[in-house]
Amino acid sequence: MESPVPSLSRRSREIPAFLAMDVLDRARALERQGRRIIHLEVGDPDFPTPPPIVEAGRRALAEGHTHYTESMGIRPLREAIARHYHRRYGVDVSPERVLVTSGTSPALAMVMQAILDPGDEALVPDPGYACYANFVRAAGGVPVAVDAGPASGYRLTVEALEAARTPRTRAVLVNSPSNPTGVVYGPEALQPLVEWAERHGIWLISDEIYHGLSETGPEPSALEYGPRAVVVDGCSKRYAMTGWRLGWCVAPVELVRPLQKLQQNLMVCAPAASQAAAVAALTEGEPYVAAMARAYAERRRILTRGLEALGLPVAGRPQGAFYVLADVRRITSDSVGLAFELLERTGVALTPGVDFGQRGEGHLRLSCAASPQAIQEGLRLLGEWLRQRGERPAAG
């Protein structure tokens, strides 16, 4: 007799793939077959982790920091993070409010688990970071896509949040500089959102992972505008440390103990050597960040100009992070089909815009976490493909 197959949860069956990673997986498979691929799909800096940070991690390993740490993170790191908020934003954050995590992603996952009950709603920007809706779903909540489209310069507004608010609304996620558009929220755009959330007793979670990588100068932090704002951030992007898996959350006091209990049970603690490296990042990393930010600004310009020359308008005004969202609706409204066709035919790997919500459909996201040469070559191959299809740059 055949034994029954153990069943899978509905949650695991229904969670959509992170399409950027699906494209990357296919691109790697093509590379194994000998194809040359231009990687413009993932948001992983092509820069190495700066040497003083690597050295601090190496030293930590050599000195035997290869064990569990306190669940909240090592004290020197929590203090360095608190100093960072004072220095950069002029806000006083007690180290007691800092939870060190294995990347920003676990911080987001645990915050959602700490604040959502089944059926509770969380407002997410559309277009916005692909995984937000899935962090909400994984915690049993319901993501509600809120218009962050062209009318508002690709930013959330109080009007759009108000239109989406219901008695079940518990949280709103904001991300500046934004993935996928590179749009930056200045104080005039961010402050009203934080105040709106405070007024309605709604958690505002500000994902500040791309701070430091803007050409606008220092981006404001939600912590400047509201005592109950929750900030998630980390080392991945700013310090080119994606593989070290190190992030953090600054939480208001009432959220600290719930987050600590989740961390103890689900994650235990962040990697010890990565925590030591993060101390070096926060104390010695700034000159490296400034140089990388300048390089990304130049690459954003190359990408934006190149796409526009191909007749593919760029969404909004990318001034931060390392992404550009290109409008391809004159070619197709099927961004998944187009991304995989381009990968197979030209070897250029790009992310389908629908990954970032329905308002991202008909777009492709290009990452400039790649060398200027790779970006130029990607643009050249795209142009060639368009010409072969008989597509001409749109007039004007």
Give yes or no for residue 222 binding ligand PLP (CB under 6 A): no
The two three-digit tokens of residue 201, written as one number? 């007793």
Find the part of the chain contacting ligand PLP (CB under 6 A) among 53-61, 97-105, 223-231, 255-263.
97-105
70, 379 Cβ separation under 8 angstroms? no
The two three-digit tokens of residue 385, written as one number? 């493909």
Residue among 179, 275, 335, 346 that touches ligand PLP (CB under 6 A): 179
User: Binding string, 52-91, against ligand PLP, x = CB under 6 A?
Assistant: ----------------------------------------
Listing DSSP states for 172-220 in one string gives EEEESSPTTT-----HHHHHHHHHHHHHHT-EEEEE-TTTT-BSSSSPP
Q: Which of 51, 43, 45, 2 is nearest to 20 (CA)?
A: 43
DSSP 3-state of 234: strand
Give yes or no for residue 234 binding ligand PLP (CB under 6 A): yes
Beta strands in the chain (DSSP E): 38-39, 98-101, 121-126, 142-147, 169-175, 203-207, 230-234, 247-250, 323-327, 348-349, 351-352, 363-367
Give the orientation angle of helix 272-284 with respect to helix 75-89, to 10 degrees: 30
DSSP 3-state of 248: strand
DSSP 3-state of 2: coil
219, 211 Cβ separation under 8 angstroms? yes
Give yes or no for residue 236 binding ligand PLP (CB under 6 A): yes
Residue among 45, 50, 57, 103 that touches ligand PLP (CB under 6 A): 103
122, 143 Cβ separation under 8 angstroms? yes
Which 8-state DSSP code applies to residue 333? S
Residue among 69, 175, 275, 351 that touches ligand PLP (CB under 6 A): 175
Chain centroid to CA 125: 12
Strand arrangement of the beta sheet that strand 203-207 belongs to: 98-101, 247-250, 230-234, 203-207, 169-175, 121-126, 142-147
**Is 9 exposed, middle or buried (CB count within 10 Å of its CB: 0-12, 13-18, 19+)?**
exposed
Residues 114-173 that bind ligand PLP (CB under 6 A): 129
In the bound state with ligand PLP, the residue whose beta carbon lies nearer, of 175 and 214, is: 175
**Is 371 exposed, middle or buried (CB count within 10 Å of its CB: 0-12, 13-18, 19+)?**
middle
In the bound state with ligand PLP, the residue whose beta carbon lies nearer, of 41 and 207, is: 207
Find the part of the chain contacting ligand PLP (CB under 6 A) among 63-71, 103-111, 151-159, 307-315.
103-111
In the bound state with ligand PLP, the residue whose beta carbon lies nearer, of 169 and 181, is: 181
Give yes or no for residue 353 binding ligand PLP (CB under 6 A): no
Q: How far is the CB of 33 from ligand PLP (least distance, A)?
A: 27
Give yes or no for residue 263 binding ligand PLP (CB under 6 A): no
Chain centroid to CA 20: 12
Count how many Cα atoms sit within 13 Å of the Cα of residue 293 in the half-sphere of its side chain: 21
Residue among 207, 208, 355, 361 that touches ligand PLP (CB under 6 A): 207
Find the part of the chain contacting ligand PLP (CB under 6 A) among 119-127, 213-221, 234-242, 344-352.
234-242
In the bound state with ligand PLP, the residue whose beta carbon lies nearer, of 241 and 348, is: 241
Strand arrangement of the beta sheet that strand 363-367 belongs to: 323-327, 363-367, 351-352
Give yes or no for residue 247 binding ligand PLP (CB under 6 A): yes
Number of residues that bind ligand PLP (CB under 6 A): 13
Give yes or no for residue 242 binding ligand PLP (CB under 6 A): yes
Find the part of the chain contacting ligand PLP (CB under 6 A) among 99-107, 164-172, 214-222, 296-304.
99-107
Find the part of the chain contacting ligand PLP (CB under 6 A) among 101-109, 149-157, 281-289, 364-372.
101-109
In the bound state with ligand PLP, the residue whose beta carbon lies nearer, of 129 and 185, is: 129
Residue among 43, 50, 127, 383 that touches ligand PLP (CB under 6 A): 43
Residue among 49, 71, 104, 169 that touches ligand PLP (CB under 6 A): 104
Q: How far is the CB of 394 from ligand PLP (least distance, A)?
A: 30
Residue among 26, 55, 83, 105 that touches ligand PLP (CB under 6 A): 105
Name the residues that contact ligand PLP, by CB under 6 A.
43, 103-105, 129, 175, 179, 207, 209, 234, 236, 242, 247
